A and B are shown apart, each in its own frame.
Chain A
Amino acid sequence: MSATEQTVSADMQHGEVNTQDTEHHHGPAKGFSRWLFTTNHKDIGSMYLWFSLAMFMTGGCMALLIRMELFQPGLQMMQPDFFNQMTTMHGLIMVFGAVMPAFVGLANWMIPMMIGAPDMALPRLNNWSFWILPFAFSMMLFTLFMEGGAPNFGWTFYAPLSTTYAPPSVTFFIFAVHMMGISSIMGAINVIVTILNMRPKGMVMMKLPLFVWTWLITAFLLILVMPVLAGVVTMMLMDIHFGTSFFSAAGGGDPVLFQHVFWFFGHPEVYIMILPAFGVVSEIIPTFSRKKLFGYSSMVYATSSIAFLSFIVWAHHMFTVGMPLAGELFFMFATMLIAVPTGVKVFNWVATMFRGSMTFETPMLFAIAFVVLFSIGGFSGLMLAIAPVDFQYHDTYFVVAHFHYVLVPGSVFSIMAAAYYWLPKWTGNYYNEKMGKLHFWLSFIGINITFFPMHFVGLAGMPRRIPDYALQFADFNAVSSVGAFIFGFSQLLFIYNIVSCIRTKNQATPEVWEGAKGLEWTVPSPAPYHTFTTPPKVD
């Protein structure tokens, strides 16, 4: 109690502190308790980012195991059931453990600084959102050591494979998903409240940086769909343990019901993983083009349209389940429409670069690669959207190629771009540009060797989620596997770059980048522990 009072009085004393002041009131607590008990958005952001990196490594190692098994036809390394566990865990960990927490970490670090708020709106809730995650994922990883093995029914866990026919660990999986859901919902509430309520005078909505806008919309998506995921896993739990028949025709239910509810969550989920990426890229490209973002307001409208459309396209993942014709057509048309607002974004980025004055530091390289490779993924998405042709693509490696193109050189590249872009602001030091470029080029080459051939094997007819395959797919699979190792090992460079940037002193200026605009670049590097305790002036 007295501690709180002290804080407050400290706040009062520094009434007219100016934002450039590094020695601004009390800094972080000492020792480990700083991280356990913190309410500081920067600490929490860092923890999210480290956690995400750890999960990226875990999920990545699983991917490498998958690629090792698929290097050659035949069963070499593992039993089919274990292979399925790897596929499932890889998907779940990457989606819920690596990409989503990374974006939440970025949101925590940057949103308050970008809008000029002293912290997130609900700091203790913020810490809770984070600390749920390590427990949830420990529980999920723990299932690997349980009798019957970890979840082995794919990250989409279709019933009844995930209910009646699932290993006992599915129960733990369900509760882990509940925990992640709670964490995401609280995180999203925090983001929304911060953005809507913590802006200083003058920071009107249409002046918000695009990263903030995209996150606001992402947070709405999260609040609207995470509870639906909770609902569907709850129905699973009931079917498994309490005798209900939601997903069993024998009792009047329907296995396809599961898929409808799941994808009502699942499709917005993939946009949850890409909208903040759009935001990041929309920050970086103007900076290194030294030119204002083209079509700011159309970017905002496009993002909103994508979010809206994402709620009415879910069944494009289910074209083959035998929906009535009218449903099939509706979902096909709605899905195709998403190409329009997404196209607007791509065109705006290109128009921003057009007649700019460009330089190509590491963040910009990642951002440019993002635009190209994400679009390739988007194009294959559009092909998948054509229902009659999706009958041929569905559940083949063509789909795997599609979503890795939007997720790895999409979401993951944008996260790396963001890391390089803001690292000097976070640590106060410039990273090593040469090493950054090396990391970029190795990743860029590795990613394409890994995922491009998957288009070919997919079209040629290789189903996904199989540990062994027919001989005509052998060559490209071997190539993919090699690419995966190139990409995987080049991430060691990423880790090296981050660590060395933290440790080597190479003092960065407050602006860091020549063309950088925005509030976060007005505070010193590293950003002081508390920023904007007095609201900045925004004109």
Chain B
Amino acid sequence: MKRDLSSHILLSFIKKLAVFLLFIAPSTYADWQLNLREGVTEISRSVYSLHMIIFWICVVIAVVVFGVMLWSVIYHRKSRGAKAQNFHENVYVEIAWTIVPILILVGMAVPATATLKKMYDSSESDIDIQVTGYQWKWRYQYLESGVDFFSSLATPIEQIQGESEKTENYLLEVDNPLVIPVGKKVRFLITANDVIHSWWVPDFAVKKDAIPGFINESWVKAEHTGIYRGQCAELCGKDHGFMPIVVEVKSQEDYQLWLKDQQLAQAEKAKSAEKRWTLDELMVTGKEVYMKSCAACHQANGEGVPGAFPALKGSPLVQGDPGAHIDVVLNGKAGTAMQAFRDQLSATELAAVITYERNAWGDSLGDIISPSQIAKLKQ
């Protein structure tokens, strides 16, 4: 099996090298690109053209400068019998090659300033969405319609660990994408709950840091419907590489339908807390929630990571009075990575995960934390 893997790596590597060298055949994986994306907004296109202009200016300068150098290297070498000249100063030349670059730079600065000004104008928006970065997921709150949900990585862990085939949108897929309507100016109010994150969707040319305690603004007016993918772009801890962003741009009508659905689903979720749950049911749901929301830090086996995340298995707090335990999970611990899950999870999910913690990993207390109990606390 080991030999298999290494020969596979070797093979795939040779293949890749060939691809690189030939620059033709499509690769084994999804199609790759070499350049910036043009994107789907007016802004992103002007960013793209700025990028290309500056790129070509640099290329031209490089060709001239390296050209002269190459010329000298070829023709003014000693082995060709070149004799060194004596000149070593020329004020006019020096002035020229100071002024000319300045003019070139001014030429770049003018369109750059115009684009930047447009990007900064987030006034007169149609929809306002607050985007909050959490370790390691995003929360979207639609300020006008009250829709509020979290969005986290959907790629299964087996794919990441190489136990199953990686699918097309590996690491760029989420459970609940952000949905916005096409052709409307959507303003984002970007902030964070714990550390600094950065909300980035290349096709919109939007990248803004999410700073805890402050709000940054940005906006987009998408011109085409479709699905656009991005990633968190500021190191935010262990799973920084695993907090993608997916935006679905829908037509006006579809967007309205989606909003309705969301509002209905939220009401639905609240109701499930009123049901009577058995220990087994809670354990099943609890395990799911735990794996999705808690295992990233406290680990699947509940043993945590020494020095970073405490073990829950055998923790006196988890074993002890439910009140304190519930409080930690609902309200988190200010100033630590332990975030408040009050708004992230429904009452049922919270009850389930707390019950799960108290009964998993061999230290079963046998007690049930009921969803209705949590629902009361949440109010």
- Pair from one complex: yes
A296 close to B88 (CB less than 8 A): yes
B112 close to A74 (CB less than 8 A): no
B17 interface contact, C-beta 8 A: yes
Segment among A36-44, A344-352, A415-423 that sits at the interface with chain B: A344-352
B144 interface contact, C-beta 8 A: no
Take A320-B209, A356-B82, A479-B17 as given contacts and tell me if A293 and B235 are in contact as well, using a CB distance cutoff of 8 Å: no
B120 close to A357 (CB less than 8 A): no
A325 close to B117 (CB less than 8 A): yes
Chain A contacts for B308, CB-based, 8 A: 81, 148-149, 167
A459 close to B34 (CB less than 8 A): yes
13 further interface pairs, Cβ-Cβ under 8 Å (given A71-B13, A466-B231): A149-B307, A161-B196, A161-B237, A165-B135, A165-B237, A295-B94, A320-B233, A322-B211, A356-B72, A376-B62, A391-B206, A395-B234, A466-B241
A476 interface contact, C-beta 8 A: yes
A223 interface contact, C-beta 8 A: no
| Contact for A392 among B9, B31, B202, CB less than 8 A | B202
| Contact for B233 among A340, A346, A360, A395, CB less than 8 A | A395
| Contact for A80 among B58, B231, B239, CB less than 8 A | B239
Query: What is the bound-complex CA distance between A337 and B104, given in angstroms?
Result: 11
Query: What is the bound-complex CA distance between A375 and B67, given in angstroms?
Result: 13
The interface on chain A, measured as residues whose beta carbon lies within 8 A of the other chain's beta carbons, has a size of 105
User: How far does the Cβ of B70 sit from chain A's closest Cβ, in whole Å?
Assistant: 9
**Chain B contact residues: over half helix, strand or loop, or mixed?**
mixed
Take A75-B160, A475-B20, A479-B17 as given contacts and tell me if A465 and B240 are in contact as well, using a CB distance cutoff of 8 Å: yes
Chain B 205-221 against A: per-residue CB contact (8 Å), 1 yes, 0 no?
A: 11111011110110000
B207 close to A392 (CB less than 8 A): yes
Chain B 84-123 against A: per-residue CB contact (8 Å), 1 yes, 0 no?
A: 1111111001100110011001001100110111011000
Q: 4 closest A-B pairs (Cβ-Cβ)?
A: A249-B213, A148-B307, A466-B241, A322-B216
Chain B contacts for A161, CB-based, 8 A: 195-196, 235-237
Chain B contacts for A387, CB-based, 8 A: 112, 116
Chain B contacts for A375, CB-based, 8 A: 62, 65-66
B258 interface contact, C-beta 8 A: no
Query: What is the bound-complex CA distance between A152 and B34, given in angstroms?
Result: 30
Which of chain A's residues has its CB closest to B117's CB?
Answer: A325
B3 interface contact, C-beta 8 A: no
Residue among A147, A249, A354 with max Cβ neighbours from chain B (10 Å): A354
B307 close to A167 (CB less than 8 A): yes
B66 close to A332 (CB less than 8 A): no
Chain A contacts for B27, CB-based, 8 A: 474-475
Chain B contacts for A358, CB-based, 8 A: 72-73, 76-78, 82
B315 interface contact, C-beta 8 A: no
Which of chain B's residues has its CB closest to A479's CB?
Answer: B20
Query: What is the bound-complex CA distance between A473 and B231, given in angstroms?
Result: 14
A414 interface contact, C-beta 8 A: no
Interface residues of B (CB under 8 A from A): 9, 12-13, 16-17, 19-20, 27-37, 46-47, 50-51, 54-55, 58, 61-62, 65-66, 68-69, 71-73, 76-79, 82-90, 93-94, 97-98, 101-102, 105, 108-109, 112-113, 115-117, 119-120, 135, 159-162, 166, 168-172, 190, 194-196, 198, 200, 202, 205-209, 211-214, 216-217, 230-242, 305-308, 334-337
6 A-B pairs with CB atoms under 8 Å apart are A250-B334, A355-B84, A357-B84, A388-B205, A474-B27, A475-B27
| Contact for B19 among A84, A289, A386, A475, CB less than 8 A | A475
Query: What is the bound-complex CA distance between A371 and B72, given in angstroms?
Result: 14
B161 close to A356 (CB less than 8 A): no
A158 interface contact, C-beta 8 A: yes
Which of chain A's residues has its CB closest to B233's CB?
Answer: A395
A389 close to B34 (CB less than 8 A): no
Chain B contacts for A148, CB-based, 8 A: 305-308
User: How far does the Cβ of A449 sit from chain B's closest Cβ, in whole Å?
Assistant: 9
A518 interface contact, C-beta 8 A: no
Which of chain B's residues has its CB closest to A148's CB?
Answer: B307
Take A153-B235, A475-B16 as given contacts and tell me if A165 and B194 are in contact as well, using a CB distance cutoff of 8 Å: yes
B241 close to A469 (CB less than 8 A): yes
A321 close to B209 (CB less than 8 A): yes
User: How far does the Cβ of B289 sit from chain A's closest Cβ, in whole Å?
Assistant: 22
Chain B contacts for A154, CB-based, 8 A: 235
A460 close to B101 (CB less than 8 A): no
B88 close to A293 (CB less than 8 A): yes
B29 close to A474 (CB less than 8 A): yes
| Contact for B241 among A158, A168, A395, A468, CB less than 8 A | A468
A9 interface contact, C-beta 8 A: no
Chain B contacts for A72, CB-based, 8 A: 9, 12
Query: What is the bound-complex CA distance between A472 and B272, given in angstroms?
Result: 41
A388 close to B47 (CB less than 8 A): yes
| Contact for A471 among B30, B62, B241, CB less than 8 A | B30
A478 interface contact, C-beta 8 A: yes
Query: What is the bound-complex CA distance between A147 and B58, given in angstroms?
Result: 48
Query: What is the bound-complex CA distance between A470 and B16, given in angstroms?
Result: 16
B307 close to A168 (CB less than 8 A): yes
A391 close to B47 (CB less than 8 A): yes
Chain A 376-419 against B: per-residue CB contact (8 Å), 1 yes, 0 no?
A: 10010011001111011011100000000000000000000000
A470 close to B171 (CB less than 8 A): yes
Query: What is the bound-complex CA distance between A400 and B37, given in angstroms?
Result: 19
Query: What is the bound-complex CA distance between A291 and B71, given in angstroms?
Result: 17
Chain A contacts for B109, CB-based, 8 A: 332-333, 336
Take A165-B337, A468-B171 as given contacts and tell me if A344 and B94 are in contact as well, using a CB distance cutoff of 8 Å: yes
A73 close to B65 (CB less than 8 A): no
Chain A contacts for B116, CB-based, 8 A: 325, 328-329, 332, 387-388
Query: What is the bound-complex CA distance between A473 and B194, given in angstroms?
Result: 29
Which of chain A's residues has its CB closest to B309's CB?
Answer: A148
A372 interface contact, C-beta 8 A: yes
Take A333-B109, A386-B112, A466-B241 as given contacts and tell me if A295 and B336 are in contact as well, using a CB distance cutoff of 8 Å: no
A290 close to B213 (CB less than 8 A): no
B84 close to A460 (CB less than 8 A): no
A456 interface contact, C-beta 8 A: yes
A472 close to B30 (CB less than 8 A): yes
Which of chain A's residues has its CB closest to B211's CB?
Answer: A255
Chain A 316-346 against B: per-residue CB contact (8 Å), 1 yes, 0 no?
A: 0000111001001100110011011001101
B84 close to A320 (CB less than 8 A): no
User: How far does the Cβ of B191 sit from chain A's closest Cβ, in whole Å?
Assistant: 10
Chain A 440-483 against B: per-residue CB contact (8 Å), 1 yes, 0 no?
A: 00000000000001001001110101111111111110110010
B205 close to A392 (CB less than 8 A): yes
| Contact for B84 among A322, A356, A389, CB less than 8 A | A356
B54 close to A249 (CB less than 8 A): no
User: How far does the Cβ of B193 sit from chain A's closest Cβ, in whole Å?
Assistant: 11
A248 interface contact, C-beta 8 A: yes
Residue among B35, B86, B94 with max Cβ neighbours from chain A (10 Å): B94
User: How far does the Cβ of A154 sit from chain B's closest Cβ, in whole Å?
Assistant: 5
| Contact for A461 among B113, B161, B202, CB less than 8 A | B202
Chain B contacts for A351, CB-based, 8 A: 93
Residue among A249, A356, A360, A467 with max Cβ neighbours from chain B (10 Å): A356
Which of chain A's residues has its CB closest to B236's CB?
Answer: A161
A372 close to B66 (CB less than 8 A): yes
Query: What is the bound-complex CA distance between A249 and B212, given in angstroms?
Result: 7
Query: What is the bound-complex CA distance between A442 and B268, given in angstroms?
Result: 65
User: How far does the Cβ of B94 sit from chain A's closest Cβ, in whole Å?
Assistant: 5
Chain B contacts for A343, CB-based, 8 A: 97-98, 101
A244 interface contact, C-beta 8 A: no
Chain A contacts for B119, CB-based, 8 A: 388, 391
B20 close to A476 (CB less than 8 A): yes
B233 close to A75 (CB less than 8 A): no
A216 interface contact, C-beta 8 A: no
